[in-house]
Structure 1
Amino acid sequence: MVDTVDEVGRAVAELGIDADFAKGGTLAYTRSPAQRAAAEAEVAEARRLGVDQLELLGPEAVAAAGADGAVFDPACARVQPARLVRGLARSLVGRGVALYERTPAIEVAPHRVTSPSGTVTADTVVLALEGYLPTLPRFRRRMLPLYSLMIATEPLPDTVWDEIGLRHGQTFTDYRHLLVYGQRTADNRFAFGGRGARYHWGSSVRPDYDRAPRVFEHLRRALADLFPAAAGAAVTHRWGGPLGVPRDWHASVWHDPRTGVAFAGGYVGDGLSTTNLAGRTLAELITGDRTELSALPWVGHVSPRWEPEPLPFLGANAGLAAMTLADVEERVTGRGSLAARVMGPLTGA
């Protein structure tokens, strides 16, 4: 995964895609004793696994409000994902790939995908629908669609960015339980997102779920809390979409040559570079050309199904409430949250 960040940059450069790729690393701020302890534990665990590039920074190195330090990971890059996916699509079409948009798949079977306009047959059908997988009835319990929403501000002057302390190419987060994430865009905006939207009954996925005014306001307040210098910035864009969450929160890649069905997914929001690695791994599994990618731990893993309703509805929304409570609990007590430990197996912690 560390190497794949550079692989995405290499592919962008080779294909001439203007996707604002800039590898500036990511800062994960610590803003309480409990968050500092979580950061120290993460750095220690990474070093045990042989990932030694994480750097624990002190308060003198960060400018986020209330931060007493951060973890810096250089293996992260900023990218404009819409430009990236459009550039990849143009590249494929230019090489003769037939790409059909606005053509929903209504059924998938071995060697076959059915759409309202007809049936497509192929030696291999790849399921790579992520949060949209539950829209196919046969796979409804294979993935839980949890929504993550984003906002973008107006461009901010360089003087504000100097005060904030984020360079071009840097992304950021912190160690709260109700996840947030952001970046400084190429045109000097904040692009900032996070969880907070509820799960919808029956793994329902609808375009109007992409917009939740309450969550957008929560994100605006969270951004202002992290960076008071941006408190007065106008929010110019709001959007969102569903993430794909497997029952064990474990991404996987597999190929069944008997049925001609392959799968990649379960990225839980960390999919931009992960899909690159999954695609290269799938190519090996399908063609039979093996390298070290084919032996990665996620190859062949099959996550269990989610329970039938109402358990996902109750559990997912209880988990959302628990993570909100956990952040309040840690701010008040200064200790690791009991609510987070209790809900950890459900929320992937």
Structure 2
Amino acid sequence: MNAATNGNVSFWYADIGGTPGYRPPLPGDRDADVCIVGAGYTGLWTAYYLKKADPSIRIAMVEKEFAGFGASGRNGGWLSGGFSWSREKYLKSSSRGAVIAMEKAMAGTVDEVIAVTEAEGIDADIVRAGNLQVATNKPQLDRLREYYKEFSAWDNSDRVDFLSAEEARQRIAIHNVQGGVVKHGAARVQPAKLVRGLAATVERLGVPIYEQTTVLGIEKGRVTTNRGVIRAPIIIRATEGFTAGIPGHKRLWLPLNSALIVTEPLSDALWKDIGWQGRELLGDMAHAYCYAQRTREGRIAMGGRGVPYRFGSQTDVRGQTQAATIAQLQAILTRLLPQTKGVRIDHAWCGVLGVPRDWCTTAGLDRQTGIGWAGGYVGLGVSSSNLSGRTLRDLVLGNETELTRLPWVNRSVRKWEPEPMRWLGVHSMYQLYRIADEREEAGLPQTSKLAALADRLTGH
């Protein structure tokens, strides 16, 4: 098996010939109108929309590794337009209409991303597809019905269908499927192709991307790096799951770990047994949750939590993951699709995503310091980062728009607890989820109370 130890931080880079070489680092002190820290989706979309709005604006991007090193090049390829955060938490500081507007804006990111890739000639293997969530036991089916009811109640009834067991099975031959919900308007994407295409586009627009440049500190008007200082009145922190590595930000967003495996290409006969002809994004209603896609060349990419959190908000080593995590993900794959038993796993890797204390994403700009941010996507960054880029564009340019009035703008939440409380809380949550899933799979007729306890532990 080729894991991330072969030099690629994910299969997606192996798919395009390997991880890229580095761009030159920051060559010394610089002045700019905007400095963007982090060259992933969030930073690149922000630079793209700023340059499109004002070609004269001077932008400097700094990146510790290479553009797309983090979650932007390692995710599951779900361009979902999804909204899985707590509507009730956003409601506390806004209105029902504002939350609905935010949800519709998120849904609109799918069309927007596709439009930009077509306009800029970015080939990212994008295929429009539904987002299919399945239930494989009675408690999951109960949660699925509740999920469908709640989603529909927020002015989304035209975007979702409830599927019977047979209707779900006709799409993908999931073992013991009890029912499904398909949300329309999503798409499959090859993450590394998208982020590398965006980086090349931003460079063509005149934005330098300084790689191999480690940020040592961020303060008003000043980003200090190991290669020099960038002075800029506006600074955008676009570091998502790596935010904890910036001095002074250790407890701001928790770096939650997620891992993926990719199979060998499946035979035509096996695909005939499985179905999946619609290339749907696939997830389940287990508490621990998994996510999957059918790739361009007929592989299955399957993701889940693995080791959920490393003590002290540490991150992985260039995508390397554990053998136990690979085995867990393969077990999930064969549980859902027993047809894949014996299929070789070709690649495995992991990465981190950012989690705010209230598990709700945010974007904003502090006018006093000139420091802006976006992230805490909790696994929905492929599409949400696009809305971040457009929102930050408007905030930086001082334009009051529908986007700047959305309820996620300028939200602030309390920090995560010091260690060892963070580690104990997150690991306890996922242990409780695991036990709850096992009990439900064994025949528990209703949702395990352990799952509710897990949610209370961390505010999930």
TM-score w.r.t. length of structure 2: 0.74
Structure 1, residues 304-348: CA drift from partner, whole Å, max 9, x if none? 100111110110111111110110122231211100011213455
Q: Is the 8 A contact 1:178 1:196 kept in 2?
A: no
**What corresponds to 2:416 in structure 1?**
306
Shift of 1:206: 3.5
For structure 1, which segment, 324-333 or 90-99, has the greater mean C-alpha deviation from structure 2 after superposition? 324-333
* AA at the equivalent of 2:165: P
Matched, 1:322 2:322: no
* AA at the equivalent of 2:402: E
Matched, 1:262 2:372: yes
Number of residues of Structure 1 aligned to a counterpart in Structure 2: 349
Aligned pair partner of 1:140 in 250, 253, 256:
250
* AA at the equivalent of 2:113: V
Distance 2:166 2:433 in 1: 29
Could you say what secondary structure the match of 1:66 adopts? coil
Map 1:265-276 → 2, pairs under 5 A:
265-276=375-386
Unaligned runs of 5+ in 1: none
Change (3 A) 1:18 1:347: farther
**What corresponds to 1:334 in structure 2?**
445
Change (3 A) 1:20 1:92: same
* AA at the equivalent of 1:265: G
**What corresponds to 2:107 in structure 1?**
2
Q: Is the 8 A contact 2:258 2:308 kept in 1?
A: no
For structure 1, which segment, 228-237 or 258-267, has the greater mean C-alpha deviation from structure 2 after superposition? 228-237
Aligned pair partner of 1:57 in 155, 160, 163:
163
Distance 1:207 1:109 in 2: 28
**What corresponds to 2:271 in structure 1?**
161
Q: Is the 8 A contact 1:65 1:228 kept in 2?
A: yes
**What corresponds to 2:14 in structure 1?**
none
Shift of 1:295: 1.2
Unaligned runs of 5+ in 2: 1-105
**What corresponds to 2:356 in structure 1?**
246
RMSD: 1.3
Aligned pair partner of 2:228 in 118, 136, 155:
118
Change (3 A) 1:179 1:341: same
Q: Which has the higher contact order (CA 8 A, sep 6+)?
A: 2
Q: Is the 8 A contact 2:363 2:388 kept in 1?
A: yes
* AA at the equivalent of 1:125: I
Distance 1:15 1:345 in 2: 45
Map 1:1-349 → 2, pairs under 5 A:
1-52=106-157, 53-61=159-167, 62=169, 63-207=173-317, 210-332=320-442, 333-347=444-458, 349=460
* AA at the equivalent of 1:27: L
Structure 1, residues 148-198: CA drift from partner, whole Å, max 9, x if none? 000101111233222212125311010001121000001110011101214
Structure 1, residues 5-29: CA drift from partner, whole Å, max 9, x if none? 1111111111111100111111111
Q: Is the 8 A contact 2:122 2:194 kept in 1?
A: yes
* AA at the equivalent of 2:121: G
Shift of 1:91: 0.3
Could you say what secondary structure the match of 1:188 adopts? coil
For structure 1, which segment, 16-25 or 168-177, has the greater mean C-alpha deviation from structure 2 after superposition? 168-177
Distance 2:129 2:272 in 1: 16
Q: Is the 8 A contact 1:196 1:320 kept in 2?
A: no
For structure 1, which segment, 84-93 or 169-178, has the greater mean C-alpha deviation from structure 2 after superposition? 169-178
For structure 1, which segment, 78-87 or 53-62, has the greater mean C-alpha deviation from structure 2 after superposition? 53-62
Shift of 1:291: 2.2
For structure 1, which segment, 154-163 or 221-230, has the greater mean C-alpha deviation from structure 2 after superposition? 154-163
Q: Is the 8 A contact 1:315 1:346 kept in 2?
A: yes
Q: Is the 8 A contact 1:250 1:303 kept in 2?
A: no
Distance 1:42 1:295 in 2: 27
Distance 2:424 2:111 in 1: 40
TM-score w.r.t. length of structure 1: 0.97
Q: Could you list the structure 1 runs, at least 4 aligned residues long, displaced by more than 6 angstroms after superposition.
A: none
Shift of 1:118: 0.6
Change (3 A) 1:210 1:302: farther
* AA at the equivalent of 1:289: N
